[in-house]
Amino acid sequence: MWINIDCVVRQENIKPPLTIDPASRWTFEISVPGDPRTWPVGELSASYLSEGYPGYLRDSAGCTWGRSDSGLLAGLHLSVEESTGDIAPFPQAVTQDYRKVLRIDLDLNETIASSISGTCGVTAAMTMSLRLVQTPADFEEKQDACTLCK
């Protein structure tokens, strides 16, 4: 499963709608093994982390690369705080008592990579704590044509 987090740097939001501007976005992609419906309470290990830095961080130092693929980061912690309910057959997907609470903590401090010189000398630092709650209301039945069935 992939968790994608897309943060907007509010100081860069001078005129709406600059929130779609890559110069003011900080993105994270985290890969976590398994089906989240089966995760027990406890720590999870992320197998991959990719970050996209706001353009102003790299542009301020003349960097030509704004993305760093770091793999596992020491400052990334994922944990399941609550885990109730179970998988249910289609179309429910989960039982009525289903509830998962996932906590993502990230304390990042690293030098941004450059495609030319290896590093560009700009340090990216961010501290984030995010709590995600998933309940049966987050699952919906969708009726789409099966393009792979033909």
Closest CA to 135 of 102, 103, 100: 100
* Domain coordinates in residue numbering, the chain: 2-136
Long-range own/partner contacts, residues 35-40 (CB < 8 A, 24 or more apart): 35/1, 35/87, 36/1, 36/100, 36/102, 36/134, 37/85, 37/86, 37/87, 37/93, 37/94, 37/98, 37/100, 38/87, 39/80, 39/83, 39/100, 39/102, 40/80, 40/83
The pTM of this model reads: 0.70
In tens digits, the chain (150 residues) has pLDDT values of 788 877 776 555 455 554 455 666 777 788 888 899 999 999 988 776 777 777 666 665 556 554 444 445 667 889 999 999 999 998 889 999 999 999 999 887 777 666 565 667 677 777 889 999 999 999 877 777 777 775
